[in-house]
Amino acid sequence: MAHFELVAPRTAEEAVAELRAASGTSVGVLAGGSDLLIDIDEGRVAPTRIVSLRRLPWRTLDWTGGALTIGSTLPLRTLEDDPDVRRRLPGLWQAIRAVGSVALRHRATLGGNLGRAAPSSDLIPILLALDAEVELIGAEGTRRLPVDRFVLASRRTALRPAELIRSIRIPEARPSAFLWQRVRPANDISQIAVAVARSPGARAWSVAVGGIPPRSVLLPRVAEALGHGSPTPAALDRAADLASREVAIVADRRASGEYRRHLIGTLLRRAVASAEAARS
């Protein structure tokens, strides 16, 4: 006897109706499954009903007017293979490549990663730095939220009970970079990750840091310290110093607090250099 029922609705309306009908019971939403199935195996969740998104026509990738809209169930590997993602959003491309392995990325999705909102997510920092927003669909229709307001804390999001992530929108191409430090390059969790992006119009920087609980955060004061355009060596020093003091750093089994503080400044310098190189 199976531990859960599995349903695979064909439309968004049916999917939302399934979630509403299941309210009160323990329901799981399945995109790629690489997080949900591990959470089930490790006893973190025990859904009795799982709503699979596999039949929804949401595996889309659309560049319109300079903005990129990514369907929530598009496999990360497909996103990684889009030449425009690599060229126009290099930080997003680097972040995708930091997730798991090739085999994992063939199933894992951006919507799944956002919906789980792990503090160790390698995708949330770059989405923050790129000012991405999520489109959510529920019984009352759709609404949009900046990723910064969608991710609340470790494994907590602004998603309502019968609501699904429909897509993720990145408003413009930006010189950007995502760098991490970890023990193994694949299938490992970053000790610290730093994402930077520069808005081409205003030439202002965004800086986000991930790998620390309770969630990835934007560092507006660090971004401001970088100034506009290419930062001077003094501005970079100031920003790196500030970055290592701005974040509440914790020690855990992956790294000491001192090492993490050191890494933030180092990765910030390298990420800015990488984004600058991507621009030219």
Partner 1 sequence: MTGPAGVLRVNAASIDLATVPADERLLDTVRWRLGLKGTKEGCRTGDCGACSVLVDDRTVLSCLTLTHELEGARVTTIEGAPMDPELERARAAFQRAGALQCGYCTPGFVVALAGLLKERGTAATPEELLDGLQGNLCRCTGYAAIARAVAGLSEAPP
Position of tokens 């939403």? Answer: 29
Position of tokens 């110093």? Answer: 241
Q: Which is nearer to partner 1, 81 or 224 (CB)?
A: 81
- How far does the chain reach from its first CA to its final CA, in angstroms? 59
Q: Which is nearer to partner 1, 37 or 250 (CB)?
A: 37
Q: How far is the CB of 71 from partner 1 (least distance, A)?
A: 16
243/262 Cα distance (integer angstroms): 10
Per-residue binding letters, 43-62, with partner 1 (x by CB under 8 A): -------x-x-x--------
Q: How far is the CB of 126 from partner 1 (least distance, A)?
A: 20
Q: Which is nearer to partner 1, 19 or 136 (CB)?
A: 19
Q: Which amino acid is at 132?
A: A
How many other C-beta atoms are found inside a 10 Å radius of the C-beta of residue 261? Answer: 17
Q: How far is the CB of 59 from partner 1 (least distance, A)?
A: 11
Within residues 152-191, the interface with partner 1 by CB under 8 A covers 184-187
Q: How far is the CB of 18 from partner 1 (least distance, A)?
A: 14
The DSSP symbol for 191 reads: S
Q: Which is nearer to partner 1, 189 or 235 (CB)?
A: 189
Q: How far is the CB of 160 from partner 1 (least distance, A)?
A: 25
Q: How far is the CB of 39 from partner 1 (least distance, A)?
A: 11
Within residues 61-100, the interface with partner 1 by CB under 8 A covers 77, 100
Q: Helix or strand or coil: residue 193? A: strand
Cβ burial of 141 (10 Å; 0-12, 13-18, 19+) is exposed
Residue 66, phi then psi, degrees to nearest 5: 85, -15
33 binds partner 1 (CB under 8 A): yes
Please answer whether residues 95 and 113 qualify as being in contact, where contact means their C-beta atoms are separated by less than 8 angstroms: no
Q: Which is nearer to partner 1, 52 or 113 (CB)?
A: 52
Closest CA to 179 of 95, 119, 237, 96: 95
Interface with partner 1 (CB under 8 A): 1-6, 8, 30, 33-34, 37-38, 41, 50, 52, 54, 77, 100-104, 106-107, 184-187
